[in-house]
Structure 1
């Protein structure tokens, strides 16, 4: 759902709100307030948390971990670059792969306090950047009418050319001649984007958070009260004021923390049921993520059904729910026969340099 607006409208999605029906306007702000911007921090948190647990597991077994982290960074970066170039420009895998390089160089063996301090520092840097941003609309370059037509009616080759042009040419300057500098810039920007919550997750993992949920129920329930606070802050996106963007951006983080605590509280109460429904799709998260891109670009781009820009926001929400429910069921059926998803298997082969089923 967080990505559906981009699938449906590309970067022009920020402009559609001016000319849509009341239902679609309400749907647009529902996605903006309840979903968009508040889930990539959660994924970053989980990414950092799992990284620390993997390192602790390897150390407990007397095994080295740095080569594994390095190969995982390379593997995610390659998958992300392929996804970005060949399927959809909204990739996040390259961001996480790039972030891993920074973590490997500077952050893997740090004290808990260091993780929290740097999480705060990066958040402050982002806040300053947003504060000096002129407006939400001006941050994103809308698609031109000609570009929209390419996504609606173009062949795969035409859309590929359009996408690569957007990625490799900025203000008339070809990035092909400065790829090393461009990659270093990407690493830095990626770390700035997801680093705060990745480091926060690493710090929480070091502190042993979520290992005994039943003993922290009251704490999670109290922190979950940040959900309405975050929603209220994000609601400022409706108003056109000089401070709407910074308040909205603050709300995305507040809501993310609230969602994490709310999920932890719900999971402690309904662990069996939630494991049954959500563990399978989680085990296949990489495959499911890429499949969402393939399915949605097929639905909206010209080489598929060509519905780019033609369906309302409300229909996009319904489509998100349908796709997700389908993947929930498909993941359950798949794991009855296989222990790993196809993309997860390929990545683990590369990371561990052996049969993934024996890699641990």
Structure 2
């Protein structure tokens, strides 16, 4: 049972990784001007843009959060069964993810999510690690409702982010690494002394709150499902998975409302992201039970190395699009970006399969685990 459960979570994480790359590709290509490209895009790129927005964006990070919460509870249960302490491990994991995220955010790309999960883990450590199943679901629903209210009173969908100026686009296309780094974090590094410390502290506190609101619901849902021992005996839940998978078309319809840009589009889109994520998880569990060998072969390896692969996606894509690499920022269409995402993911999938024939843990995962457990993990199978 244990092997099946772990394989499902690894495969689900691997499945989410292609979605994350597709969603991030818009930002890699266009930055915060991503929403503006529709005005001048041709038909193929418009269809590609809305495909990413409706089918992918906003509905894959919740899956990552769900797996994150699920695996966290199972790790805690494993430590408790072995009569070992776990709070120090959770704390060091929060610190480790936050450090990796801060480095990723500062040195490579502003779209980091690792700092978000590290910050969320601090909140979980303080308030949510030893709670009843009901508590996890209740608080997950409360956070979802808060986000729903924010979406209901939020801005027009296309106006959510400030577009890049022509000068800023030029820096991404032709700038050096230092110039792009300065543009990304220039306002923070421009200060100094005590003022900088207080600024960073305030930013981190605000970021911690926003992070928990953003990914907390599905992390808590994952923790609750882990407490219920869901997905361990998949065959017993097949009918339930099939029924819940019907949320996929519902979520797609809700998210499709952005095409019409009504006053309620943002609210319907936001609701659709979560509905679609739940549907995707159920559909994947159902398919995993039927095609476990194939799913393990294709999705589990890249899922086991998800941290390394996630960071490699940033390195590859910033090299392709930023001025210190090939300088293709804003020059390729959305459709080409989708093709590029599939190629990158396919290469990572194959490399992950080959890598795991010799090693049992990825290089970045090894660094993080060494810090978390204060010992060097075994690398060779």
TM-score (normalizing by structure 2): 0.91
Structure 1 stretches of at least 4 aligned residues deviating more than 3 Å after TM superposition? 166-170, 174-177
CA deviation map 1:15-63 (0-9, x unaligned) = 0001000000000000000000000011011100000000000000000
Q: 5+ unaligned residues in a row in structure 1: which ranges?
A: none
Q: 1:37 to 1:169 in 2, by over 3 A?
A: farther
Equivalence for 1:15 = 36
Alignment of 1:249-268 (within 5 A): 249-268=270-289
Q: 1:169 to 1:242 in 2, by over 3 A?
A: farther
Find the aligned partners of 1:175 and 1:143 in 2 and give their Cα distance: 26
| Paired residues of 1:154 and 1:301 also in contact (CA < 8 A) | yes
How many corresponding residue pairs?
355
Find the aligned partners of 2:107 and 2:234 in 1 and give their Cα distance: 42
Counterpart of 1:194 (choices 215, 224, 227) is 215
CA deviation map 1:131-160 (0-9, x unaligned) = 111211222111111000000000011101
Find the residue that maps to 2:232 and give its secondary structure.
coil
Find the aligned partners of 2:38 and 2:187 in 1 and give their Cα distance: 24
CA RMSD of the aligned region, Å?
1.4
Equivalence for 1:123 = 144
| Paired residues of 2:157 and 2:261 also in contact (CA < 8 A) | no
CA deviation map 1:55-88 (0-9, x unaligned) = 0000000000000000000000000000000011
Equivalence for 1:315 = 336
Counterpart of 1:159 (choices 180, 193, 196) is 180
Find the residue that maps to 2:181 and give its secondary structure.
helix
Q: 5+ unaligned residues in a row in structure 2: which ranges?
A: 1-21
Counterpart of 1:74 (choices 60, 72, 95) is 95
Find the aligned partners of 2:258 and 2:173 in 1 and give their Cα distance: 29
CA deviation map 1:153-198 (0-9, x unaligned) = 000111011111266689xxx8654211211111111000000100
Find the residue that maps to 1:210 and give its secondary structure.
coil
Counterpart of 1:181 (choices 182, 202, 206) is 202
Q: 1:323 to 1:166 in 2, by over 3 A?
A: farther
Find the aligned partners of 2:261 and 2:81 in 1 and give their Cα distance: 53
TM-superposed deviation, 1:357: 2.4
| Paired residues of 1:168 and 1:176 also in contact (CA < 8 A) | no
Equivalence for 1:212 = 233
Equivalence for 2:61 = 40
| Paired residues of 2:94 and 2:121 also in contact (CA < 8 A) | yes
Find the aligned partners of 2:125 and 2:136 in 1 and give their Cα distance: 14
Counterpart of 2:153 (choices 128, 132, 140) is 132
Find the aligned partners of 1:175 and 1:191 in 2 and give their Cα distance: 24
| Paired residues of 1:175 and 1:182 also in contact (CA < 8 A) | no
Counterpart of 1:277 (choices 298, 303, 308) is 298
Matched, 1:94 2:115: yes
Find the aligned partners of 1:167 and 1:208 in 2 and give their Cα distance: 44
Counterpart of 1:333 (choices 354, 375, 379) is 354
